[in-house]
Amino acid sequence: MKIGVLALQGDFEEHINMLRRVGVEAVEIRLASQLEAINGLIIPGGESTTIGKLSVEFGLMEPLRSFGHQKAIWGTCAGAIFLSKDARRTQPLLGLMDITVARNAFGRQVDSFEVDLLIPALDTVASSSRPYHAVFIRAPLIETVQGEAKVLSQLEDGRIVAAQQGRWLATSFHPELTSDERFHRYFVEMAK
């Protein structure tokens, strides 16, 4: 099992470290040819416009899309925006996941916050059920989940912050910035 992390911009190193902690081989991905060797890909948080522009520049858009049609992709924060079909403004998107996202949806005062979430899906990779402590940094909101996409977690007021569509996963928050390994384990299972 080898998982790649798109390493154009953003906090890819934290994902690499977390993957190694859960015991899988982790590699930084910058070239289309490197996609052949991995079972799943994480697109990290950062700036979705930058990740998009660099992906266009490096000829990664089509290779990433065809990778996604065969294997697992998980986008965290900016990565979730990049994975979506619609971010309600013009920027390069992979357009794979049937979700609409709103960038920087939590406004200035609460640019960053942390909250405990209920994520029942994570019970499949843990021995006991407990809340998931999630870190949000200038986070997007998943406004709508359509078609085959399913809601994985919501804030108490119902706003969606995690979704899954087959082998694609999108989280508004940053599991790589906590010590909780459950989300990475969940993704590794998805990628098998």
Catalytic residue among 15, 114, 156, 174: 174
Residues that bind ligand GLN (CB under 6 A): 45-48, 77-78, 81, 103-104, 137-138, 140
Judge whether 143 counts as a catalytic residue.
no
Nearer to ligand GLN among residue 112 and residue 124 (C-beta): 112
Cβ atoms < 10 Å from Cβ of 46 = 20
Active site residue 184: no
- Of 105 and 125, which CB lies nearer to ligand GLN in the complex structure? 105
- Coil, strand or helix at 7: coil
Contacts of 89 (CB under 8 A, 6+ apart): 103
Using CA atoms, how far apart are residues 12 and 27, in angstroms rounded to an integer?
10
Catalytic residue selected from 15, 77, 114, 189: 77
Phi, psi of 37 (to 5 degrees): -90, 0
Residue 96 Cβ, how far from ligand GLN at the closest point, in Å?
17
Secondary structure (H, E, C), 92-134: CCCCCEEEEEECCCCCCCCCEEEEEECCHHHHHHCCCCCCEEE
CB of 89 or CB of 150, closer to ligand GLN: 89
| C-beta closer to ligand GLN: residue 1 or 137 | 137
**Can 15 be counted among the known catalytic residues?**
no
Residue 70 CB, shortest distance to ligand GLN, in Å, is 26
Contact status, residue 19 vs residue 55, Cβ threshold 8 Å:
no
Selecting among 176, 181, 184, 189, the annotated active-site residue is: 176
Catalytically annotated residues: 77, 174, 176
